[in-house]
Structure 1
Amino acid sequence: MSGPRVEPFTALTPAELESWHALRAANPALDSPYFHPGFAAAVHAAGRPVHVAVAGDGGAPVAFLPHHREGRLLRPVGWPGADFQGPILAAGTGFRPLDLLGNGAAAYTFDHLVEAAPGFERWVVSRRPSPYLDVTGGLAGYLGRASRSGKENMGQARRRAAKAGRELGELRFVADSSDPKALARVIELKRAQYAATGAKDYFAEPDRVRLLDGLLRARDPGFGGLLSTLHAGEHLLAAHFGLRSGAVLHWWFPVYDPAFARLSPGWILLRELVAAAPALGVARIDLGRGEDEYKRRAKTGESVVCQGVVTRNPVRRAVASALSEARSIARSVRARRKP
């Protein structure tokens, strides 16, 4: 395979986009919505330029890798909000990550690379679990596969939903809402959560708000945003905005109103979404990387995502390894401190 050429996303031809779709469809490791060209298109349209490395020796392309360029650094498309990353190519196809470098680009950094990405093994410095829920068969199917903890939490969610209905008013769940006001409330609650926990505010960059707005309006059955809301009476208890492609839903921005935390509304919402999965055509809900307690309890399985950097500079690679080790130690310390 010759070195890739790099094009702005908007320069890809219809035939190249068809090749992208075909390569993704032929590789089960790429069924996440993040690998759909619609995600790259939405990020680009929101105002953050996307470039695509296109590899092939004449004829149809054999690999695509959408990315952003920040000075001499390349990042995966949608970073830091992309929970699955990697090249779009057929299973078993080779890929040379060093070919991404050149023309001033000194490194390609990744933090959610799918473990099956070929050619990246030597550049990986750490691996972390990415839990998921197999929701084939809806709530009954999920409960048949869930851990004891998952079953218990879903049972508690059912009882708390009944309590919310008695105390606050009729419970209403909308699996697929197109209400922009509800999305604005999701973003408002998420920003308040970031502020309360000291986390970096993802929505401080206006293009990220525009991204979610655009994804909410995307009604393509093959790709788009999915907004789900849970009300009790006049109160919005919880909501979630995720990405949907085919039978996969990615759990992206879940929120709940802290005023109703005693009801664990996030679990009620998740239970309702699992129950609605067959009607939505969803068979798997990817929860994204992390060792959050609710993910550990709810999951039926997990994949692995990798962190690392492609570089010819050994110092840069050593720094990446040291930072990864420091973060791993910090996570272990936090886990030991939990009651």
Structure 2
Amino acid sequence: MKSFDELTSQELDAWHRLRAANPALDSPYFHPGFAAAVHEFEPVRVAVSRDARGEVASLLPCHRDGALLRPVGWPGADFQGPVRAPGTPFRPVELLGRGVRGLEFDHLLEAEGFEPWIVSRRASPYVDVSGGLDGYLGRASRTGKDNMGQARRRTAKAERAYGPVRFEADTVDAEALREVVRLKRAQYAATGAKDYFAAPGRQELLTKLLHTRDPAFRGVLSTLRAGPHLLAAHFGMCSGGVLHWWFPVYDPEYAKLAPGWILLRELVAAAPALGISRIDLGRGDDEYKRRAKTGESVVCQGLVTRSPARLALRRARDSLAATARRSGLLRDLVRKVKKM
């Protein structure tokens, strides 16, 4: 393992080459630009493996937290896994040792070599936006079409009530980004979710990404306003034709307008001009994701460990969390188990 800033130009070139050779790795999370940005605020280590010829065969960027390794960007990494060409062998257990007793993952792409340690799988919805709004409506479910139609009508309603509606698909606006963080933190507090931005460097990471304007990897901030009011906004990352839906927010004061749907509709319509063909919505059971999606991928949760007891405990924790999601009655207990 080596620090991200110790990677050679040959290893960085291999990162780009291996990613380009594997269509499954088109998410911006797999671009070295993401690891580079995170490394400015939290140390990133990279496991580099080589083949018999000495060529780079795979790279896995991660963080070390005591005896655990976790994927780069944890806990905000919605896609995880080694960067490698399809079919390249990978033995994650070889990362254990020298004080490392486990490699935890919660959004791992289906990956050969990890099967013994996968304890659960969950859907990660996406929206195919090729062809813009017309193309999407031709693929969307009935509920997706209905919500887009309602969003169009609510746009007119917002304009009558608050003033002209303005949508900016990709704006470098530091003040708007601060408002995204403020609204997101208020949402975390209202729902009892763990505050992602409580940890040092997280807000600064988004600011860094906002000002990253490389066409191959960049932050994307989209805003929806009516008159002087910010109704909704979203901050995500884009690489190639893929936009990752990362931090969507809306002002609860305008909740009756369902501004999140208005924002999503505008973004789908703007997708061709932005060069976007897919929006990854990220893992989750949110109703709007179920309604909006045109398809889904699968991400895995688990723990690479040599300890059967630790793996069994992880299985029990995930099983309990799944039950809580279904029933809504065990949420507090799940949080206590996770803290343990």
> Shorter-chain-normalised TM-score: which range?
over 0.9
Corresponding residue for residue 3 of structure 1: none
Match of residue 98 from structure 2: 103
Counterpart AA for 2:36? A
1:75-119 per-position Cα deviation (integer Å, ceiling 9, x unaligned): 00000000000000000111001011111100000000001x120
Report the 3-state secondary structure (helix = DSSP H, G, I; strand = E; otherwise coil) of the residue aligned with 2:169.
Answer: strand
Question: Following superposition of structure 1 onto structure 2, how do residues 12-23 of structure 1 map, counting pairs within 5 Å?
Answer: 12-23=7-18
Deviation at 1:333, TM superposition (A): 0.8
Kindly provide the CA deviation profile for residues 24-60 of structure 1, in whole angstroms up to 9, marking residues without a partner as x: 0000111110000001000001x20000000003533
Q: How many residues align?
A: 328
What do the CA deviations read for 1:171-219 (whole angstroms, capped 9, x no partner)?
A: 0000001010000000000001111111111100121111101000100
2:187 partner amino acid = Q
Counterpart of 1:78 in structure 2 is 73
Unpaired runs of 5+ residues, structure 2, are 330-340
The answer to whether 1:301 aligns with 2:295 is: yes
Between the aligned partners of 2:91 and 2:200, the Cα distance in structure 1 is: 34
Give distance in 1, aligned partners of 2:189 and 2:328. Answer: 20
Instruction: Give distance in 2, aligned partners of 1:16 and 1:97.
Output: 19
Tell me the residue number matched to 2:150: 156
* AA of the residue aligned to 1:322: A
| Alignment correspondent of 1:142 | 136
Once residues 11 and 119 of structure 2 are traced to their aligned partners in structure 1, the CA distance between those partners, rounded to angstroms, is: 33
User: CA-to-partner distance for each residue in 1:230-260, whole Å, 9 max, x for gaps?
Assistant: 0000000000000100000000000001110
Contact 1:130 1:305 in 2 (8 A): yes
The amino acid that maps onto 2:273 is A
Other-structure match for 1:225: 219
User: Is structure 2 residue 248 aligned with structure 1 residue 257?
Assistant: no
Contact residue 16 and residue 60 of structure 1 kept, 8 A: no
- Give 2:231's aligned residue: 237
121, 125, 129: which one pairs with 2:119? 125
| Matched residue SS, 1:206 | coil
The percentage of aligned residue pairs carrying the same residue is: 69
Partner SS, residue 170 of structure 2 = strand
1:271-330 alpha-carbon deviations (Å, 9 max, x no partner): 000000000000000000011100000000000000000000111000000001001111
Secondary structure in 2 matching 1:102: coil
**What amino acid is the match of 1:330?**
A
The TM-score with structure 1 as length reference comes to 0.96
Q: Does the residue aligned with 1:111 lie in a helix, a strand or coil?
A: strand
2:56 matched to 1:61? yes
- 2:328 and 2:188 map into 1 onto residues whose CA distance is 18
Match of 2:24 among 18, 29, 44: 29
Letter in 2 for 1:184: R
Aligned equivalents of 1:14, 1:208: Cα separation in 2: 27
Shift of 1:332: 1.2
